[in-house]
Chains A and B, each alone.
Chain A
Amino acid sequence: MKITLLLTLSCLISLTGAAIAAEIIQIEGSTTVGPIGGAFAEKFMQMHPDVAITVKKTGSGDGAAAIVDGRCDIAMMSRFMKAKEFENAVKNGIFPVAHVVANDGVCVIVHPSNPVKELTTAQVRDIYNGKITNWKQLGGPNLKVVSISRDTSSGTYETFNKLVMKKEKMAGNTEYVNANPQAHARVKSTQGAIGYVGLGFLDSKVKALKIDGVMPSRKTIAKGIYPVSRPLFLFTNGYPKLGSSVHEFCTFYLTETGQEIIESKGFVPLTEY
């Protein structure tokens, strides 16, 4: 047993010795932007075998905290940085620079059996702040409204809170779930449910509603006609050094491959390639 222990120890020590051959880019942040980061990483590492990329998806807030602490090289965020986060960053000698990589819409979804097709932002707000409690009030069936929201640390929540709720408080009986797939799954299985997810999560199992008469789609989001559209960000400390791997990664969305990846991951590319 002692011998095995010694062997493991020496293995680990030799591991430390052989370290730092490849360049490592650490990426952290939003679960929404995560699939883009991950997919970019896959392609990027194929193109540059000497660069290692790690991606961690914990939420926009954590991404911001990580770049502020200097714990990561690139932070993924589905909202812009807050004033407080900027302040802390500058105090730490870090100057966050935003790169917009794609656009996304926050789509309001209901169970497909729900005959309601269209809502205004005011109506959605009334549902979430508890003024509307039954679909009957909106011309739908006699069903209790079950409102599903994302957790308050998510960037999607922030966008929804700012653009739809106008920072009004949500009703006490709102259910909070901590990722897009959960919100989707909850709405899919509950007849009276209403929730909101990113554009990429729309499928035949849930029904997206027109908001203020606009259907969320690539076109309406790219042009900003859809009222709950938002850009998705990568943040770096200062503008990355030209020609560096981080710079290439942050501008990867401009290449045709990058745009194709963004589209196939269900987001809206910035340009029409």
Chain B
Amino acid sequence: METKAFQKIYTKIENITKATVSLRASGVGNDELATVGGKLAQVVKLNGDLVTLQVFAGTDGIATDSEVIFHGEPPKLRVSDALAGRFFNAYGEPLEGGELTEGEEREIGGPTVNPFKRLQPSELIATGIAGIDLNNTIVSGQKIPFFADPDQPYNQVMAMVALRAKADKIILGGMGLTNDDFLFFKNVFENAGALDRIVSFVNTTENPPVERLLVPDMALTAAEYFAVDKGEKVLVLLTDMTLYADALAIVSNRMDQIPSKDSMPGSLYSDLAKIYEKAVQLPNGGSITIIAVTTLSGGDITHAVPDNTGYITEGQLFLRNDSDTGKTIIDPFRSLSRLKQLVIGKKTREDHPQVMNAAVRLYADAANAKTKLENGFDLSDYDERTLSFAKEYSEHLLAIDINIDITEMLDRAWELFAKYFTKTEVAIKEELMEKYWPKEA
């Protein structure tokens, strides 16, 4: 960061903790940036002339006489079309070196869109994955995370979804991404010839964790530029939000705040909501859709991070390893897309809602039958049929390696219904049954 002529330099730091420094200074604004011993920092507390700064890269090596220079402004990002195709660090500096992008400087973490000016999301985002398109349809302007254990291929699925979705721009916000995963994303996008549609802000595990706090705001400021100014459909990928929350917890702990559930700060809900609520369908046709990853520990969704996330996002996609088929599937019970009602049966075939529900209900019956089997009871004929149905349903519809269009998904579901069940057992509205029940071959 260049220094400006009129800036005062302070050299007397009074307090140093692992993540913060305090010093006496005047004329400092809340949230403004500073450089402390060459490292970027942000004002987090003002008390009289005592200023507390959070040093993003950690305070290692900072001495009481290190130079502190205040920038007089909050973190900003230069926005222009030149962002496309480039990789940045958490501060918005190009990763591969090179010049900073040209363009207007915008404050990151800006104000919210007036809810009254929003439009209702109504455009379906097709991914080809039936676990999503059939059961948990995603709509543009939606925010939805994958809930996954660390060993599951969530980054792969997310990259696949991003490339298949017809987005004008894809913005990747990587937080605590391993270098390997970062290279994976880079490769996949490159191979798909999609690099010119992609902007990345990446904090890898090699970088200090507190820097991550800037990544979502950077990514979303870029997204707002393309969506609001250019009217483009923007897809923002945020991985991994659990690591972002961990960084929040570190800072709040260093500031002696009283932790609430699971050592997370009491403001976790608001902090996460500020990010996710940037998802929007704008009146100019532009939209921001957010697909995020929240890693779980041992599938525990009651932990503060997935729990708060679930209350903010419009559903969640649950990855699970299905032992019957040996494939990774999108769990139909625990996954949910809250906005699917806006498109299913409207933008898709009329039978979509009922077929979806019937299939999930029958799949639930299979789960019951499985429990019975495990407890050593005899299975009825119906139970046996549900089990066979579940296996095929899982293999041909729920598995993440499926890539077909929604009409074909519906036809497949009807075929499975007819193969294993009677019309009474499927219990769908009669008119639909007459129209779509496969005729005897």
Answer yes or no: do A and B interact.
Answer: no
- Chain A residues with CB under 8 Å of chain B are none
Q: Which residues of B are at the interface with A, using a C-beta cutoff of 8 A? A: none
